[in-house]
Amino acid sequence: MQLRPPGLQVVIAAVAVSMCATALATSSVSFEAEGYLLDIVVGGDSRPSIAGLSLAMPGSAHSVAIPVQHLKVEAFDTTQKILLLRFTNPGDSQLPGDFYLSVRNDAGILQVQGRSMTGRFSWGL
């Protein structure tokens, strides 16, 4: 039988609780307009951030994962319900063209391929 110093179990428990408290929580939000669907994975503990994004184009059976390193988040405020983000295609033919999403409250505008589409945004946080 191995003896442990008294209080070691308390220290181990405290470290485990601390690690769980600082782990990133995730949820998702989405935008839909004219056959376009953006699913956005939100991560973060004290301040939400974009952890992932996928885009389904009209008529497509599959969505495309958008590399977050090519996203520029200009504003993301879940309290005031504002999201402004831009994707710039780095020249990868497997990815969609550049697009810009602007959201205020539950309405958004997606600008892609020279078109602007108004749609509904779901703050599923």
- Looking only at the bridges linking them, the beta strands covering 82-87 and 107-112 are unpaired
- Summarize pLDDT for 40-90 with one digit per residue, the tens: 999 887 788 999 999 999 998 899 999 999 999 999 999 999 999 999 999
Asked if 31 contacts 105 with a C-beta cutoff of 8 angstroms, the reply is no
- Give domain limits for the chain: 26-122
Can you give the pLDDT at residue 64? 95
Percent of the chain with pLDDT over 70: 78
Closest CA to 96 of 78, 80, 115, 77: 115
Can you give the pLDDT at residue 125? 60
Percent of the chain with pLDDT over 90: 67
* CB neighbour list of residue 56: distance below 8 Å, 6 or more residues apart: 36, 37, 38, 39, 62, 63, 64
* pLDDT at residue 20 tops 80: no
Can you give the pLDDT at residue 61? 87
Distance CA 38, CA 54 (A): 6
* pLDDT at residue 103 tops 90: yes
CATH class of the region 26-122: mainly beta
Distance CA 115, CA 125 (A): 29
